[in-house]
Amino acid sequence: MSRRRTTALTALLGAAALAVPAATAAGTSAGGTVPCRAQTPLTFSAPTYVDITRAGGEPLVATLPNGDLLYSAHAGTTHFYAPEAPNAGTTAFAQNYTNQTYVWTSSDAGRTWTFRPRYAPPQDLPLTGFSDPEVAIDSAGDVFFSEINLANVAMSKSTDSGRSFTLQDLGAAVLTDRQWQEADRKDEVYFAANAFGGGTGVPPSPGLGHYLSKSVDGGKTFTTNVPDSKGGDGMGDLRVDKRTGTLYETHFDGSYGSGTGTLSMVAFRQARAGRLSEADASLGVIAKGVDSVSHWPAFDLDPSGNLYVTWDESGRGARKAGVYYAVSRDAGRTFSAPQRVDTDDHTDIWPWIAVGDDGGVALAWLQADVALPGNDAETPGTHGWHLYAAATDQGLGCGRSHRAPFSVARATKQAVHTGTICQGGTTCQATATDRRLGDYFSMDVDAAGRAYLGYADTRTPAAVALPGLVHQSGGPLLVGGRTTRPAGVSSATGRVLSPRR
C-alpha cells in the first residue's frame, strides 16, 4: 500500500488545489468510458535480500519524500519456528536481536540498504517493541513509526527520512493485536487497533474492542479512543485523502467463515475536526457474500481521491476463490463490481495494493503452486509459494465492461517459501505451525513509477525468515503515465519526486 503521501497539495499548488468543484474533490476521474489499451508485459528483477543477519517477517515498505525507500520488519520472536532452529542462519538472528523491530533505508532504488539502529537516546530505547512495524508519513514529510511490545505500542518519529528516530511515546496505545496508523497534516496521526485502552487516551469502556484515536502533537499524546463504527468490525489499515482530510477504513459485517459477510468502506469526512464516531461516518458497500482467506483487505487512493481495494476469497461465499479488485470513483460511496484478477485455481492469500497516479495500480499476493484443499494455507506438504503481481495504468476501468485490464505475472521464479503458512497468529507457536512469514507482506510504488514488494523469504534455512525484495523491471508505469502533473510533483497529495533513475 502506498505510503508516498508526503507533501501537502495546498503548499505546492496553492489554495486553488482545494477550490475545485465538489464532485471533482470527491474523486470522479473518468473511468470505464475510454478505450482499453493492451498492457505491456509485467516483469520483475531477480529477488534480493535486504539483510542476511536479521529477521524479516511482516515487512512494511514505503517510498519517502526524498525518493529513498524504507523497509521495516518484525524482529522474529513470535515468528520463531523451532523445527528450523538448528540451522546456521538462526545464529545471526540471535546475535542481532534487540527486542526492537528493524529499519533499513535505500538511496539507490533498493540495490543496497543501510540498517538504521535505534538503540540509544536521543533515538529509541532498547525493548521498544519486537513486532508489527507500521509506517505513516505526514504532509510535512515526517515519518511516524510504531511497533508492538505485546501489551504496548511505542510511537517514534523521524524528521530525516528514516535515518534516525526519536521516541515520542512508549505507551501510545495498549492493545492486543496489530495496530494501524495514517498521517495527515503535519503531526496529525491516526491510530486503529484492537485495544484495552489508548495509552495517553482514556478508553470509553473497560472491554476489548476496535478503536480509533488521533494525535495532533506528532504522536506524543492521543485522544480518547472512539469505539468501532459503521458496518461491523474495522479491518485495520487506514488511508487519508490529504486534499480533503477524509479518513478511510474498511469494515466487515457478518460472521467470519459463513460466506455471507459484507465488506464496506467507512469514510470519516470530518476527521480533521476529530469526529471519529459512528454518527460521523458514512458507509459504502464494496462487496456482499464475502468469505476471505486472509485477515483483511488492502486499499489505497490516487491523486483524485479514487479508492482501490483488493481482497481474497475462499470460494465459500458469493464468488470463486481468488484475488478480487474494486474501485470507487465517488470517494467511497459506491464501488465497481468485484473483478477477479488472478488467472488460475491455485490457492492465493494476502493480497496487497499500491497506487500511483490516477489509474496506476499494482496488486500482489502469495500463491501456492497447487490448489490446496479448502484453500487452507496451513495444509501440510511440499508445495511452494510464489509472489504474483498484477499491474495496470487503467485501473479505473475501460471499454464497455468498465473492467480494468491487468498484466499478471509471477514475480519470483523460485518459491520464497515451502509448506504450511500459519493463519492463526501467535497461537501457531503452540501448534508448531510455520509462522516465519507472519501475516502479510507489502508493496509500494517508487519515484520511477515501478512497484516493489517487501516480503519474508525462507529459502535460507533458519528459524526465522529473511527480509526479501523484488522490484518491477517492466510493464505498466504507475506514475508518470496518463495523469497530468505539475513538474516534479507526485500523485494525490503532491509529493515532490526525486529525479527519475
Is pTM beyond 0.85? Reply is yes
Percent of the residues in the chain that have a pLDDT greater than 90, as a whole number: 62
Res. 484 pLDDT band, cuts 50 70 90: very low
What are the tens digits of pLDDT across the range 444-466? Answer: 999 999 999 999 999 999 999 99
Strands in 281-368 per DSSP E: 281-290, 298-301, 307-313, 322-328, 339-340, 348-355, 361-368
CA-based torsion, 333, 137, 48, 84: positive or negative: negative
Q: Which of 53-62, 192-201, 244-253 has the lowest mean pLDDT?
A: 192-201
Residue 122: is the preceding peptide bond cis (ω within 30°)? yes
Instruction: List 353's β-bridge partners, or say none.
Output: 363
Pure H helices in 241-314: none
Q: Which has more confidence, 481 or 365? A: 365
Query: What's the pLDDT at 118?
Result: 85
What are the tens digits of pLDDT across the range 256-306? Answer: 778 889 999 999 999 999 999 888 899 999 999 999 988 789 999 999 999
Query: What's the pLDDT at 64?
Result: 96
How many Cα atoms occupy the beta-carbon half-sphere of 246 within 13 Å?
26
Q: Is the pLDDT of residue 12 over 80?
A: no
Chain centre to alpha carbon of residue 304: 20
Do 237 and 247 form a contact (C-beta atoms < 8 A)? no
Q: Which of 93-97, 138-142, 469-473 has the lowest mean pLDDT?
A: 93-97
The 10 Å Cβ neighbour count of residue 282 is: 15
Q: Which has more confidence, 478 or 257? A: 478
Do 489 and 495 form a contact (C-beta atoms < 8 A)? yes
What is 9-474's CATH number?
2.120.10.10
Q: What is the mean pLDDT of residues 435-452?
A: 95
Percent of the residues in the chain that have a pLDDT greater than 70, as a whole number: 83
What amino acid is encoded at 66 in this protein? N
Q: Which of 354-368, 422-436, 472-486 tops mean pLDDT?
A: 354-368
Query: What's the pLDDT at 257?
Result: 75
Q: Which has more confidence, 3 or 383? A: 383
Query: What's the pLDDT at 383?
Result: 97
Q: What is the mean pLDDT of residues 331-345?
A: 97
Q: What is the mean pLDDT of the chain?
A: 85
Rounded Cα distance between 468 and 303, Å, is 29
Q: Is the pLDDT of residue 426 over 90?
A: no
Query: What's the pLDDT at 123?
Result: 60
The residue to which cell 533458519 is assigned: 462
Q: Is the pLDDT of residue 24 over 80?
A: no
Query: What's the pLDDT at 5?
Result: 45
Q: Which of 80-94, 109-123, 354-368, 480-494 has the lowest mean pLDDT?
A: 480-494
Do 286 and 307 form a contact (C-beta atoms < 8 A)? no
User: Who's near 19: CB < 8 A, 6+ residues apart?
Assistant: none
Res. 486 pLDDT band, cuts 50 70 90: very low
Query: What's the pLDDT at 211?
Result: 83
DSSP symbols for 210-230:
EEEEEESSSSS--PPPEE--S
Chain centre to alpha carbon of residue 250: 12
Q: Is the pLDDT of residue 345 over 50?
A: yes
Rounded Cα distance between 199 and 154, Å, is 10
Query: What's the pLDDT at 149?
Result: 85
* Sheet containing 69-74: order of strands: 57-63, 69-74, 102-106, 114-115
Strands in 176-305 per DSSP E: 180-183, 189-197, 209-215, 226-227, 233-241, 246-253, 261-268, 281-290, 298-301
Do 27 and 328 form a contact (C-beta atoms < 8 A)? yes
Give the helix, strand, coil percentages of the chain, each rounded to 5: 10, 40, 55
Q: Is the pLDDT of residue 475 over 50?
A: yes
Res. 91 pLDDT band, cuts 50 70 90: confident
Query: What's the pLDDT at 78?
Result: 86
Q: Which of 61-75, 118-132, 388-402 has the lowest mean pLDDT?
A: 118-132
Rounded Cα distance between 344 and 348, Å, is 10
Query: What's the pLDDT at 489?
Result: 33
- Rg over CA atoms, the chain: 21
